[in-house]
Amino acid sequence: MLKERTANNVHTAFVEEAKAYQRLHMFAKKATEEELPQIAHLFRAIAAAEGVHSRRHFGLLESVADTQSNLDRAFQSETAVNGIYYPKMLQEAEEDDEQDAALVFSQARDVESFHAKLYKKALDHLIAQRSTDYYVCGVCGYVSDSKLPDNCPVCGAASTKFEKVE
């Protein structure tokens, strides 16, 4: 257990490094659009390094148990964000008339229930012996197992927006 002040600092460092990771990937995408591939490459390289930092900080905050426990924890987490946290955030975004945030929260809430179902399958030992492909919607994070959908069932994105998970 870290002392409180250090724990807070590690948490802040984790959040900021995780933000930098995402920000630099957005910068890289922009540089690619502006036909500056070497700058995009640089942003992705530094993003990878910030990813190392955020993982390292996170390792000070949380430990990893065995896979059965991890599946259970991941399932509980998805269930909580679907049932409690995102609904509350959605309601507050609607009250604030923040349409963009409301859309993102409502789709994230819906997607998390699908994530929970995928974990449930694993917990019920339905996938361990089988090789299953997964496809992730690049817009909302919906995950399809086995087949690439024509359109995302949550956000409607075309199949070209999906990425196969290696």
Residues at the site binding Fe ion, with contacts judged by CB under 5 A: 78, 112, 115, 137, 139-140, 142, 152, 154-155, 157
User: Considering the complex, what minimum distance in angstroms separates the CB of residue 34 from Fe ion?
Assistant: 27
Residue type, 161: K
User: Considering the complex, what minimum distance in angstroms separates the CB of residue 124 from Fe ion?
Assistant: 18
Specify the 3-state DSSP secondary structure of 124: coil
User: Considering the complex, what minimum distance in angstroms separates the CB of residue 87 from Fe ion?
Assistant: 14
- For Fe ion, the closer of residues 49 and 136 by Cβ is 136
- For Fe ion, the closer of residues 51 and 141 by Cβ is 141
- For Fe ion, the closer of residues 39 and 136 by Cβ is 136
Specify the 3-state DSSP secondary structure of 137: strand
* 109 class by beta-carbon count within 10 Å (0-12 exposed, 13-18 middle, 19+ buried): buried
Token digits of residue 135: 């496809």
User: Rounded to 5 degrees, what are φ and ψ at 63?
Assistant: -110, 165
User: Considering the complex, what minimum distance in angstroms separates the CB of residue 162 from Fe ion?
Assistant: 8
